Amino acid sequence: MAQDILPDSRLKDTGKGNTRLPFANICPMNWVPIFCANCGLSGGYVPEENCTFAFYLCNKCAEKWAPLAGTMAMPDEVFWQKVKEEQLARYGRVLTPYELAAAAAVKGSTLATLAKEAPK
């Protein structure tokens, strides 16, 4: 049975609505708006850089859907679980980061195929 995945609360076009704000009073960063996954209410901003996923429920929707949302997984969790299962099945252990990179570089390997499915 496939596990349900939480929806992303960022806009599909992450270039829309971006704002540039100071981070820790040191350097400005681009911030992307997020919205309630249920009703669409604005939920603030998340950093554009290094943010591959954001899920947000407003307080009203969280009261209604939080237990259900807690049964779902983030896309990264599902992806890395598949990678771990493939490593255990093929190699009998979890590979080191260098071994994983080398195995994923082998054209046509299962890990190379999984790498193409990685969340962006």
Residue 45 forms beta bridges with which residues?
Answer: 33
Nearest CA to 3 among 80, 111, 66? 80
pLDDT tens per residue, range 91-103: 899 888 888 888 8
Q: Give the model's pLDDT for residue 102.
A: 86
Q: What is the Cα–Cα distance from 79 to 75, expressed in whole angstroms?
A: 6
Least confidently predicted of 10-19, 32-41, 48-57, 105-114: 10-19
Query: What is the predicted pLDDT for the residue at 69?
Result: 61
Residue 3: DSSP 8-state: P
**Per-residue confidence at 35, pLDDT binned at 50, 70, 90?**
very high
pTM value > 0.85? no
Torsion of CA 13, 57, 77, 109, to 10 degrees: -30
